[in-house]
Chain A
Amino acid sequence: MSINLRPNSRSAILAGLLVAMLVAVSGCERASEPVFALNDETSELDTKLRIQIRGALRTHCGTPQVPKMLGDESFDTKQLQHGMAIYMQRCAQCHGVSGDGRGPQAEHLYPLPRDYRRGIFKFTSTPYGAKPRREDLLKTLRRGIPGTSMPSFARLPKADLEAVVDYVIALSKRGELESQLVQEADPDEPEIDPEIVQELVDYITESWKMAHFTEVMPLTPLPEFTAEDVATGKELFTSPDVGCANCHGSDGRGQTAANVVTPLKDMWGHDARAADLTSGMLRGGSKPVDVYRRVFNGINGTPMPGFGTSAKIRDDPELVWKLVAYVLQISGQRRSGQVPPVGQFTFAPYPQGTPEGDAQTEDE
């Protein structure tokens, strides 16, 4: 008898506990709604100018809750809100609410997450300095960026990816407007001319629109790579008039003093080290056409120039493919079991100093 009653009362207690737990959990939603953080430069301005910039940004770009696409009043708000929801769930941890690359996880990452607010994206199919095409952003989302913390989102539904791309574009336009407005803001004049605002809006809108029509296609069709192509590529790579080896080193490992000891800075103010091409992780993608575009166009925001306009390549466009052949060959080295010799320099991505543990013991 008693045996029979126990399990029933037990399951009742268990069910009660579960309900209590769920109730407790449902009270734990994040309370504050996301807001766009201001640019560092904007925050330094007078209150008056700051308020104006904030107002202009709100008028043209909305808020995280009701985002707007800059320069396109008719853009579907629902679509942007959908993108925002996914962005907040999957991107904001690293890239931040406003796309400033300062999400809560950013400090743990190397390299740092991209700051979208300059409207500059590294891996595009457009010429150096141009905005990316939608397709480029989609491709980055799908592929991820090998060798960084950016994962692939290829498993998300296409509609979600499209929505995120729209939202990232909206964020990046917003950020660009903000930084342009800061430059226009004159502490001596109390107001920013609304006409200037409109001009900037038009300029930004136009630059994104234009990007769509400027896809760079290889000048010559993709050849079948031969050992000869690789050898020619290597020659070009190391020749002083093309100069790849100046930064990447003659073996492609990036083991040059200029690269390791005194690296140049990129647009975001970080050390821009030329890639170790032998790592096997080509961040911009490892299809031949991806590498072609990196060589031909350069990489936005970084000291990597485009070689498409150099005299040598104008004379013989086929040479780009030779370089591609060489880059693909060295980047596949490790995968085929060859280990390139240890270079002269070792990279120190993190600041060197007393280990944290020691410092703590001293405090104690």
Chain B
Amino acid sequence: MSEVVKHEEAEFSGPLVETQLVCWYFYAALTFMTAAMLAGLLMALQLVQWNPLNGIELLSPGRWRMLHTNAIAYGFLANAFLAALHWSVPRLTLRPVQSRWLSYTIFVAWQLVVGATAVGIVFGEAQGLEWGETPVWIDPVAQLGLLLVAINFMTPILQVKGPMYVTLWYFLAAFVWTFMTYAMGNFVPQYFVAGTSAGAVGGLFIHDLVGLFVTPLGWGLMYYFVPILLQKPIWSHGLSLVGFWGLAFFYPLNGIHHFLYTPIPMFLQYGAIMSTVAVELVVTTVVINFFGTLKGSGRMVVTNLPVRYFYTGMVFYFLTCLQCSMQTTLTFQQVIHFTDWVVGHAHMVMFGVFSMWLFGIMIYLFPRLLGVEWYSRKLCEWHYWLSTVSLTIMVGDLTLAGLFQGYFWASLQPWDASITASFPFWALRVFAGLGMFAGQLVFLYNLRKTLQSAKTQTA
């Protein structure tokens, strides 16, 4: 560990890291994040019956919704993760990636994949799989892309002699798991199984995309960046291994909990519930480990912006997993299934945790990539507070809305009654969404100004 820190301090932009590519990935990620947020905003407006694009088939709400979720998964998260990987993997292994040329090819190919997905969805070509709506003709290309990514990063990692730091464990696993998860979700229900089995596989896909692609990369990056920023090793390496193997052991079956009370065999449903609760215990060990690391440097959360982003994300992570361990039980599902509770939960995970972490990483990395300080620390603060407060409002609002909806349905009122009751919540959600979007715009403005100052400095 100390070796890593020493190396980190030694140099900020050596030839190891292709800084330009890291920047490009971040720009792409932010572009898709903006698109995703716009789409989300449109959905929110649709729910309060104020859709400005009403009546345009190609831009109808059902399609926007898919753009929203896909742009986050494959546009924002994947791009931002690739950026962070291009920064962290060479630094951890002290070796460049397999091929510089391959890196750029993957970058271009991946933007084409995401762009084609967007176009395909808008034209109604979506595959009938939640979060995997990527049209079937893009699936093989995306699969190939994932393979190339794995080769590109695994080459330096596998050359490491001696014990591997936990981040690399997570990364290695993520490359294998993401490839397999994508293949399982996009090809198995499409070509091999149907009916309930396809539903079960679809459920596994949705959740494994979170647990086996986003989670290991996210935690891997945390294990890398947090000790660097706090300038001390992780509290317990033993616990970090518990976290890794716990994830590997308990996560894969989780996805079935999306389809409780269905014809899926009960042993699978119970298995999914139990492994979901087990994941919460594993998560607790990981969170304890990180707060143990923070111990003695608590002040950093106030003074150091990236650290604040990271730890805010971890608090949300703990909350969301706690929520998860309860909401997967059959008792909770009776009330909250199909309600906005689930939507709130998804936003807490994807925005509150992983997007916050990636924003934190961006805030840490951009000055190092561009060679200038942020244009305005104050605007960074605005980004943080707008995002955090708005997200908290949105999650609280949607969770409450979900409970109301669930109890309305359970009381056998006409469906319309639950809609009427949801309106105040949906109205508040628009404002929460606007707050998050405003934060994003502030961030983009700040980045633009920073880029300008970088330009004048080099000129």
Chain B interface helix/strand/loop/mixed = helix
Q: From B57, B412, B414, give the contact of A334 (CB < 8 A).
A: B412
A25 and B56 in contact, given A3-B23, A3-B370 (Cβ under 8 angstroms): yes
**0/1 interface trace, chain A 122-148, chain B, CB 8 Å (1 if under):** 000000000000000000000010110
- Please tell me if B1 contacts chain A, counting CB pairs below 8 Å: no
Binds B, one of A150-158, A191-199, A236-244, A248-256: A150-158
Question: From residue A288, how far is it (CB to closest CB) to chain B in Å?
Answer: 17
- Please tell me if A305 contacts chain B, counting CB pairs below 8 Å: no
**0/1 interface trace, chain B 224-262, chain A, CB 8 Å (1 if under):** 000000000000000000000000000000000000000
Binds A, one of B168-176, B202-210, B450-458: B450-458
**0/1 interface trace, chain B 398-428, chain A, CB 8 Å (1 if under):** 0000000000000110111001100100000
Instruction: Please determine whether B57 and A4 come into contact, CB atoms closer than 8 angstroms.
Output: no
A4 and B454 in contact, given A21-B122, A25-B58 (Cβ under 8 angstroms): yes
**0/1 interface trace, chain B 18-43, chain A, CB 8 Å (1 if under):** 00100110010001000000000000
Question: From residue B168, how far is it (CB to closest CB) to chain A in Å?
Answer: 29
Contacts of B454 in A (CB 8 A): 3-4
Instruction: Please determine whether B455 and A4 come into contact, CB atoms closer than 8 angstroms.
Output: yes
Q: From B24, B27, B122, B411, give the contact of A335 (CB < 8 A).
A: B411
Instruction: Please determine whether A28 and B20 come into contact, CB atoms closer than 8 angstroms.
Output: no
Instruction: Tell me the residues in window 368-384 of chain B with beta carbons closer than 8 Å to chain A beta carbons.
Output: 369-370
Q: From A25, A89, A151, give the contact of B416 (CB < 8 A).
A: A151
Instruction: Please determine whether A7 and B58 come into contact, CB atoms closer than 8 angstroms.
Output: no
Instruction: Please determine whether B59 and A144 come into contact, CB atoms closer than 8 angstroms.
Output: no
Q: From A6, A25, A281, give the contact of B24 (CB < 8 A).
A: A6
Instruction: Please determine whether A152 and B451 come into contact, CB atoms closer than 8 angstroms.
Output: no
- Please tell me if A2 contacts chain B, counting CB pairs below 8 Å: yes
Instruction: Please determine whether A89 and B55 come into contact, CB atoms closer than 8 angstroms.
Output: yes
- Please tell me if A280 contacts chain B, counting CB pairs below 8 Å: yes
Contacts of B419 in A (CB 8 A): 152
- Please tell me if B10 contacts chain A, counting CB pairs below 8 Å: no
- Please tell me if B302 contacts chain A, counting CB pairs below 8 Å: no
A155 and B49 in contact, given A1-B458, A10-B31, A144-B416 (Cβ under 8 angstroms): yes
- Please tell me if A257 contacts chain B, counting CB pairs below 8 Å: no
Instruction: Please determine whether B412 and A146 come into contact, CB atoms closer than 8 angstroms.
Output: no
Contacts of B58 in A (CB 8 A): 21, 24-25, 28
Contacts of B452 in A (CB 8 A): 4
Contacts of B369 in A (CB 8 A): 3
- Closest residue of chain B to A5 (Cβ to Cβ) is B455
Question: From residue B24, how far is it (CB to closest CB) to chain A in Å?
Answer: 7
Instruction: Please determine whether B412 and A25 come into contact, CB atoms closer than 8 angstroms.
Output: no
* Residue of A7, A14, A147, A335 with highest tally of chain B CB at under 10 A: A7
Instruction: Please determine whether A146 and B414 come into contact, CB atoms closer than 8 angstroms.
Output: yes
Contacts of A25 in B (CB 8 A): 56, 58-59
Instruction: Please determine whether A154 and B412 come into contact, CB atoms closer than 8 angstroms.
Output: no
Instruction: Please determine whether B414 and A154 come into contact, CB atoms closer than 8 angstroms.
Output: no
Q: How far is A144 from B23 in the complex, measured between Cα atoms in Å?
A: 54
Contacts of A281 in B (CB 8 A): 414
Question: From residue B384, how far is it (CB to closest CB) to chain A in Å?
Answer: 22
A7 and B27 in contact, given A21-B122, A25-B59 (Cβ under 8 angstroms): yes
Contacts of B455 in A (CB 8 A): 1, 4
Instruction: Tell me the residues in window 1-51 of chain A with beta carbons closer than 8 Å to chain B beta carbons.
Output: 1-4, 6-7, 10-11, 14, 21, 24-25, 28
Q: From B20, B56, B57, B420, give the contact of A2 (CB < 8 A).
A: B20
Q: How far is A28 from B59 in the complex, measured between Cα atoms in Å?
A: 11
Instruction: Tell me the residues in window 326-364 of chain A with beta carbons closer than 8 Å to chain B beta carbons.
Output: 334-335
Q: From A3, A280, A335, give the contact of B451 (CB < 8 A).
A: A3
Q: How far is A6 from B21 in the complex, measured between Cα atoms in Å?
A: 11
Contacts of A280 in B (CB 8 A): 412
Q: How far is A24 from B59 in the complex, measured between Cα atoms in Å?
A: 11
Instruction: Please determine whether B31 and A6 come into contact, CB atoms closer than 8 angstroms.
Output: no
Q: How far is A128 from B458 in the complex, measured between Cα atoms in Å?
A: 87
Instruction: Please determine whether B416 and A152 come into contact, CB atoms closer than 8 angstroms.
Output: yes
- Closest residue of chain B to A144 (Cβ to Cβ) is B416
Question: From residue A68, how far is it (CB to closest CB) to chain B in Å?
Answer: 26
Question: From residue B445, how far is it (CB to closest CB) to chain A in Å?
Answer: 13
**0/1 interface trace, chain A 141-178, chain B, CB 8 Å (1 if under):** 00010110001101100000000000000000000000
- Closest residue of chain B to A154 (Cβ to Cβ) is B420
Question: From residue B221, how far is it (CB to closest CB) to chain A in Å?
Answer: 22
Question: From residue A337, how far is it (CB to closest CB) to chain B in Å?
Answer: 10
User: Other than the known A3-B369, A4-B454, what 13 A-B pairs have Cβ atoms closer than 8 Å?
Assistant: A1-B455, A1-B458, A3-B23, A3-B454, A4-B455, A7-B451, A28-B57, A28-B58, A144-B414, A146-B414, A147-B414, A152-B420, A154-B420
List, sorted by A's number, 9 A–B pairs whose CB atoms are closer than 8 Å: A3-B454, A4-B452, A21-B58, A24-B58, A28-B58, A89-B55, A144-B416, A154-B416, A154-B420
Chain A residues close to B by CB (< 8 Å): 1-4, 6-7, 10-11, 14, 21, 24-25, 28, 89, 144, 146-147, 151-152, 154-155, 280-281, 334-335
Chain B residues close to A by CB (< 8 Å): 20, 23-24, 27, 31, 49, 55-59, 122, 369-370, 411-412, 414-416, 419-420, 423, 448, 451-452, 454-455, 458-459
Q: Which 8 A-B pairs have the closest CB atoms?
A: A152-B416, A146-B414, A4-B455, A25-B58, A335-B412, A280-B412, A7-B27, A144-B416
